[in-house]
Structure 1
Amino acid sequence: MQEAKRLQLRRIFWNSDTGWRLGAIFIALCVVTPILTLGWLASQGSLSHWAHLLNFVIPTAFANTVLLLLGVGVLVTCLGTGAAWLVTAFSFPTQRILSWALLLPLAVPTYIVAFAYLDILHPIGPLQGLIRDILGYSSPREFRLPDLRGLPGAIFLLGFVLYPYVYLSTRVMFATQAASLLEAGRILGLSGRGVFLKVALPLARPAIAVGVSLALLETLNDIGASEFLGVQTLTVSVYTTWVTRSDLAGAAQIALAMLAIVVALILLERHGRKRQRYANTQRMRPIQPKPLKGTAALIAIGLGWAPIIIGFIAPALYLLNQTIKHLHIAGGVSSQLIQSGLNTIGIALVATLVVVVCGIVVTWAARSTRSASPYAFTKLCARVSTVGYALPGTVLAIALLTPINLVDDAIAWVAQWLGNTSPGLWLMGSSTALVCAYAIRFMAISVGGLESGLARIPPSLEQASRLLGETATGTLRRVHLPLLRPAIGAAALLVFVDTMKELPATLLLRPVNFETLATWLYAEAARGTYEEGAVAALAIVLAGLLPVIVLARSQLKSGH
């Protein structure tokens, strides 16, 4: 009897799907290890320096971080929700263009927007010079705009760059709401504003919560814009504590506090929509946009294009102008910048390949597992493998140091045991550490895209393949991979561009004398040589346009 039970358990937990399950478990452990290491590092540090941190660092950094998150959250909610309702509920000139153009600020990383506006709004910059010429002033001493550096400027710029996260999710929710619900509100005596506030907006709360949480996670991950604008956040404190003071344990302790804020944000978002349940058993008729004419149409055009001009058009035109000037004066692009571009493309391609392959392993392990207990476990592994996206780049870099050094030590020990010379810092001394950081941070993009693609494939195809004697691997190779090509392509494109834009983790984990376009731009901005950094910034923006175009096409399809 016991032998029969043993054989039954062996058939459940060790079959043709076991290899995929082991791969999913390994990937989940790789994602969890840095988080556990972060707690261990924080516990190893001395608490003696906390008197200094609590007196001079933490209060200001924590207050700035909280105020920055609150300000950005309010601004992206207003901009994203308002823009989504404007292009969904009303029809006016350029409305169709606006429906996808409102996504364009996603192509510009936050640190590039700060980099551009610091020069555009400089007291002797083009904008203030033009205003003084119009008003008849001759010197910045006579007239100058408020300084952009500071917390209000950071909230303003980050809000106008990150609002598309709210716009994207909320517009889909507005576009799929039944017109009959809004008409019922009108029949009950609600005005147009009342229908929006009391019917459409409550129904869109889950989508708004998701978009705001993503925008806040990006705000917490930011280091370049905050440092350029002189805002001391917890992210900047982690970087300066490690790099300037060489205090890894102290940086880990601050990073652990940041991780607590991230968990609080995620729990708050989950709590805000845990009881939101909507069902519609009738055939939905989409909202019919209300035509606007005259002054109302002009106001709608102005409101719709203002976020695009501030968040994309103005910084993009500035970067283009500065790039043309630099190329004309310098006679071309420097060899160091070309090498930085090649480094960026090379490491982004490698990271994209690793992330997509790991995403396929995780999603297919959950899909192909048929027994109840292993299925629940592999689904848990799939969920765990995506938590890296919630880790800010600085936190992830701090957490990866110890595991990477342990692996380097193990490789050196094995090499010496075999009689070979030590390879040195094999992981830390190469770009492998960067690839690991990118893979952990952006695994959620690959897993989410592939899960959506697999959900569209009927299970009957897999069942037919398995009944015909095909293994799980053969079913994936011959049936699902050809059908998953669009999902794989979209996920790979998003991961590629995100790795090109990533700054915090790259700053902390890059090898010596290894520059990417993001770190080149950061260094040039720190030196104040904006013309040199404009070329790298424009290249990053052009690369960021690719996923925006893909998102825009999907938006137009959903609109149809």
Structure 2
Amino acid sequence: MNASKSIAIRPQSQTQNHLRRVALASLVFLIAALLTLPLFGVIIGSMGESDGTWSHLSETVLSEYVINTLALLVMVGVLTGSIGTVSAWLVTSIEFPGRKVVEWLLVLPIASPAYIASYVYTDLMDYAGPVQSALRGLMGWGADDYWFPAIRTLPGAGLVLSFVLYPYVYLLARSAFLNQSQTRFAAARSLGASPLRAFWSVALPAARAAILGGIALTLMETAADFGVADYFGVPTFSTGIYRAWYGMGDPVSALRLSGLLLVIMAILVMAERRFRPSQANNDIARDTVLRRMKPSRPLQWLAAFACIMPILIGFAFPVARLVYLAAGDIARNGMPQFVSFATNSVTMSVIAAGLTLALSLFLAYAQRGRTRNQKTGPMSAATRLATLGYALPGTLLAVGLLLPMTTIDKSISRWMLDQFGWAPGLFLTGTVVTLIYAYVIRFLTVSYNTVEPAVSSIPRAMDEAARTLGSRLSRIVFEVHLPGLKPALYSAGLLVFIDTMRELPATLLLRPANFETLATQVYRLASDERLAEASVAALILIAIGILPVMLITRANLKS
């Protein structure tokens, strides 16, 4: 009797498990479809008919967009690769005064949005700025007696972006130098190679993959940049998309430019994944205790100077100037005007962080425990598509969303009019709903890449032990898994929070009317040459960005 009952129950249990797997896969595919909507919007929308603007663009400025974007990528790639690699090598291989402090401070420039640095350096280096004014006062020069390099140029944009973005390369290069074999380096030195030659022939080739991965990340940020290129007047794909949509009123031309930018981003994404460091596959491991070289005192001070300069240029000088300007503006106007902007920014950032964490946990658990063959199947492909958003620049994401969201709005409005005789109008487009949607698409990758490794590292034996004690899956997750996942969840939430706080192009294009955030307020005031008024909002953004950067840096340095 008991045997017959068990036979009857087993097929029912298998059916239920099959239904659960089907439901899980369906949800993953639905999430992937919703999060890849901008891609389809760009591809489909770019096939429409332009009103003649595209022909004009292709004949006049398209080549300029291509050349400037590629030139900016080359410049930033070379500079960030050089600054990040050299500083990482110096702090890992040479003992110099203040090395431990500098090792922390080298990450700080990434806490400052690049567009804020561009506003500050323009203020500092322009004709009426303090640098040129001081030169004229000291030397007694007139306006026509000297030449000074213009900051609002393509090289100026490349320099600003490089000194803000180099920490991507620095962090990965530092980790690679710390984890590579010391025996190989010592062998090269014992054969008569100088430290510089040993670096070029041994240390640098071993860290090449990590360095190229970091450079790929900086190039993704550079291709996605809007604020620096727009303020410096450098025509790139990001600024061209914005102008085609708003300045020329031609969505099709904007979408076609987005499609070309998408090709560039796809190449950079493949490069980043190709060179992404993998500890599991690392065939070079540190085999001796790290012993830093101690050169002569002048060389030690030279190494310290080489590491301190990127910190000063990328972080200290801009922040010092902002503090000076903000002190005067607060004394004149106070700070109440920024309360509503900060409230909007924090509210949107908290909502975006919460939604991305929830989706990241769901997708991570959907992938947990899958076999190697299953991890190359359709469900894993859908997960990879769902987490592709960080590769989409804000301008591309915005124009890719506007067309499908407007279509959905019009379809719903038309149905409501047919059924109830009432047209609600556009209730998704131009609201915070679409803006939050864009944030989730763009920053889910950041959250998922932080949460997924933590979820996949939870032993399956822990679940089986809890089940033998009668615990349900929900109780296992909340009482067993989540306590161990807290560090990853905190890190992911902080990263998404700060990225959302400073996101500019998507917010400019998708925000509701009269809805301002700290980022858009900084952009608006700085564009009107009112940097003193923008300085308070800029400092708030930087201050909020420092906390997660330092927490993550602390974890990386300890590990």
TM range (shorter): over 0.9
Map 1:396-475 to 2 at 5 A: 396-413=397-414, 415-416=416-417, 419=420, 421-475=422-476
> What is the Cα deviation at residue 468 of structure 1?
4.3
Q: How many Å apart are 1:429 and its aligned residue?
A: 3.4
Work out whether residues 50 and 250 of structure 2, in 8 Å CA contact, stay in contact via their aligned partners in 1.
Answer: no
Equivalent residue for 2:283?
279
Measure how far apart 1:184 and its partner are: 2.2
Aligned with 2:46: secondary structure? helix
Kindly provide the CA deviation profile for residues 147-170 of structure 1, in whole angstroms up to 9, marking residues without a partner as x.
101111011111111000000111
Give the whole-Å Cα distance in 2 for the aligned partners of 1:370 and 1:546: 38
Q: What is the distance in 1 between the residues matched to 2:316 and 2:117?
A: 11
Match of 2:495 in 1: 494
- CA distance 1:86–1:229, change in 2 (3 Å): same
Contact 1:502–1:518, Cα closer than 8 Å, also in 2:
yes
The equivalent residue for 2:8 is: none
TM-score (normalised: structure 2): 0.92
State whether structure 2 residue 77 is matched by structure 1 residue 73.
yes
Other-structure match for 2:129: 125
Q: Evaluate the alpha carbon distance shift between residue 554 and residue 490 of structure 1 in structure 2; reply closer, same or farther with a 3 A threshold.
A: same
**Distance change (3 Å), C-alpha of 1:275 and 1:218:** closer
Instruction: Indicate the larger mover: 22-31 or 137-146.
Output: 137-146
Shift, 1:271, TM fit: 5.5
Equivalent residue, structure 1, for 2:117: 113
Tell me how far apart the structure 2 counterparts of residues 369 and 179 of structure 1 sit (CA, whole Å).
37
**Equivalence for 1:87:** 91
SS of equivalent residue, structure 1 residue 91: coil
Q: Which residue of 1 aligns with 2:67?
A: 63
Q: Which residue of 2 aligns with 1:310?
A: 313
Pair 1:214 & 2:217 matched: yes
* 1:200 equivalent in alignment to 2:208: no
Instruction: Name the SS of the counterpart of 1:43 in structure 2.
Output: coil
Q: What does 1:172-187 align with in structure 2 at a 5 Å threshold?
A: 172-187=175-190
- 183-192 or 495-504: bigger deviation: 183-192
Compute the displacement of 1:360 (Å).
0.8
Shift of 1:199: 1.1
In the other structure, the counterpart of 2:330 is 327
Aligned to 1:243: 246
1:466 offset after TM fit, Å?
4.0
Q: Which residue of the partner structure matches residue 28 of structure 1?
A: 32
Pair 1:290-2:293 in alignment: yes
Task: Work out whether 1:14 is the aligned partner of 2:19.
Answer: yes
How many Å separate the matches in 2 of 1:283 and 1:438?
40
Gapped runs of 5+ residues in structure 2?
1-10
Which deviations, in whole Å up to 9, do the C-alpha atoms of 1:379-402 show, x marking residues without a partner?
A: 323222211110111001111112
Deviates more, 1:415-424 or 1:108-117: 415-424
User: Relative to 1, partners in 2 of residues 1:26 and 1:477: Cα closer, same or farther, differing over 3 Å?
Assistant: farther
Partner of 2:357: 356
The answer (yes or no) to whether the contact 2:213–2:275 under 8 Å persists in 1 is no
1:526-552 CA distances to partner (integer Å, 9 max, x unpaired)? 111111111111111111111211122
Of stretches 233-242 and 294-303 in structure 1, the one that deviates more from structure 2 is 294-303
Distance of aligned partners of 1:283 and 1:79 in 2 relative to their CA distance in 1, 3 Å threshold: closer
Which SS does the other structure have where 1:284 is aligned? coil
CA distance change for structure 1 residues 373 and 299 in 2, over 3 Å: closer, same or farther?
Answer: closer
In structure 1, give the amino acid aligned to 2:92: T
Cα root mean square deviation, aligned:
2.7
The answer to whether structure 1 residue 228 and structure 2 residue 231 are counterparts is yes
Distance (Å, rounded) in 2 between the aligned partners of 1:97 and 1:125: 32
After superposition, give the CA deviation of every residue in 1:169-188 in whole Å (9 maximum; x if it has no partner): 11011111121221122233
1:283, CA displacement in angstroms? 7.0
Give, as a single letter, the amino acid of the residue that structure 2 aligns with 1:63: I
The answer on whether the counterparts of 1:176 and 1:286 sit within 8 Å (CA) in structure 2 is no
Q: 1:531 & 1:156 partners in 2: Cα distance?
A: 23
Identity over the aligned pairs, expressed in percent? 34
Deviation, structure 1 residue 416? 4.8
CA-to-aligned-CA distance 1:461-513 (integer Å, 9 cap, x gap): 12323444545444322221121111001100000000001001011100111
Q: Identify the residue that residue 144 of structure 2 maps to in structure 1.
A: 141
What does residue 541 of structure 1 align with?
542
- What is the CA-CA distance between 1:190 and the residue it aligns to? 2.4
**8 A Cα contact 1:360 1:450, kept in partner:** yes
Q: Taking structure 1 as reference, are residues 388 and 402 closer, same or farther at Cα in structure 2, changes over 3 Å only?
A: same
1:406 and 1:469 mapped to 2: Cα distance? Answer: 50
Deviates more, 1:528-537 or 1:47-56: 47-56
Structure 1 residues 164 and 266: CA distance shift in structure 2, 3 A: same
Rate the CA distance shift 1:508–1:413 in 2: closer, same or farther, 3 A. same
Deviations 1:111-160 (A, max 9, x none): 000011110112121122223333x2254433352110111101111111
> Which whole-Å CA distance do the structure 1 matches of 2:140 and 2:417 have between them?
73
Q: Deviations over 1:82-135 (max 9, x none)?
A: 01001000011110011110000001111000011110112121122223333x
The count of corresponding residues between Structure 1 and Structure 2 is 551
Q: Distance in 1 between the 2:278 and 2:539 partners?
A: 44
C-alpha displacement of 1:421: 4.5
Unaligned runs of 5+ in 1: 1-5
